[in-house]
Amino acid sequence: MKARVGAYLLLGLYAVISLYPFAWMISGAFKDRRDVFADTSLVPDHPTLDTFSTTWTELDFPRYFLNSVLVTAATVLGVLVVYSLAAYAFAVLTFPGRKAIYGGFIALLFVPGITVLLPVVLLQRELGLLGTRLGIVAPFVNGTAPLAILLLTGAFRSVPASLRESARCDGAGELRTFFSIYLPVCKPALITIAVLTAVPTWNEYVLSRVSLNDPDTYTLPLGLQSLTAMTSPEYNVIMAASLIIVLPVVVLFVLLQRYFVNGLVGAVKG
C-alpha cells in the first residue's frame, strides 16, 4: 500500500512539473506584455484577449493556419489511402517477396528521419517541388510508411478470415472486400494512424524550415518562429500563438482518444 501511495505521489509530482509550463503558457496568453514576467501568478489579474486578436489579425496567422490545415489534411489523406491498401496486401494477399518487402518497411522504423533530409531536399529541387506545399507533403507521407504499415497490417490480420470468405462467396472482389469489410472493421486503427500522422505533421518544423522560403507557404511552426526572431518579441503574443497551435491537437486527441487506444490494442493483437 505504501509503495502504491509513493508511486502515485511521484507520478503526481511528475505531472505537475510537466504541466506547469503549459499552464504558464495559457496564463501568459491572457496577460498584457508588462504582466507576463511581472505577474507570476497563473491567474491573470487583468485577463485580456488582445493578444489573440493581435496574433490573428496583424501577424498573418490565418494564412499560416490554413497552410498547416492543407498540409496536414493532404498528408493524412495520402497516408490513409496509400498505406491502407499496402497493409491490406501484406496482411491478406500472397505474392513473391511479401515478407522481405514488409521487413524492409519495418526496418525503416530504425532510420532517423533527419538522416535523409539532404536527399529529400535535393529530390525536391530536381522535381521542381522545393518551396511548395506539395514538396513537404510527399516526404511526410513517405516518412509515415513504416509505422502506418506496421499498425494497419496488424489490424487487418486480426479480421476473421471467415468474413473475407463470406464476401468471396457473395462474389466480392478484393477492392469490394477491402472497402466493405476491412475498412469498417478496422476503423479504430485507421483513426489511430490519422492521429499519429496529423500530430507530427502539424508540429513539423525542420523540413518546412529547409524547404519553404516564401512566407505565403509558411506553416504555423514557421510563423511562430518568425515571432521569436523579432527584434523585440512580445512574449504574451508568442504564448497566444503557441496556444493557437497546440489547441487543435489537444482537441483532436481528446475527441478521438477512445478510438486511438482501441486502434493501438487491435493493431498489437493482430
Per residue of the chain (270 residues), what is the pLDDT tens digit? 677 878 888 988 998 898 888 888 888 888 887 777 777 778 887 788 888 888 887 778 889 999 999 999 999 999 999 999 999 999 888 889 889 999 998 898 888 888 888 888 898 889 888 888 888 999 999 989 899 999 999 889 888 888 888 878 877 788 888 888 888 888 888 999 999 999 999 999 999 999 988 888 999 999 888 877 765 778 888 888 888 899 888 888 888 877 766 666 655 555
Q: What is the span of the domain harbouring residue 28? A: 1-48
Look-up: residue for cell 505533421? 201
Q: CB under 8 Å to 255, separation ≥6 — which residues?
A: none
3 and 76 fall within a common domain: no
Same domain, 13 and 106: no
Residues 122 and 198 in one domain: yes
Domain at 175, CATH number: 1.10.3720.10
List the one residue out of 1, 185, 173, 153 whose CA is nearest residue 88: 153
Task: Judge if 248 and 225 occupy the same domain.
Answer: yes
Q: How many residues in the chain?
A: 270
Asked whether residue 174 falls in the same domain as residue 250, the answer is yes
Under 8 Å between Cβ of 245 and 35: no
Nearest-angstrom CA–CA distance, 243 and 224 = 11
| 15 and 111 together in one domain | no
Please give the grid coordinates belonging to residue 236: 504574451
C-alpha 100/C-alpha 218 separation (Å) is 39
Tell me how many domains the chain contains: 2
pTM: 0.86
DSSP 12-50: HHHHHHHHHHHHHHHHHHTS-TTHHHH---SS-SS--SH
Same domain, 150 and 199: yes
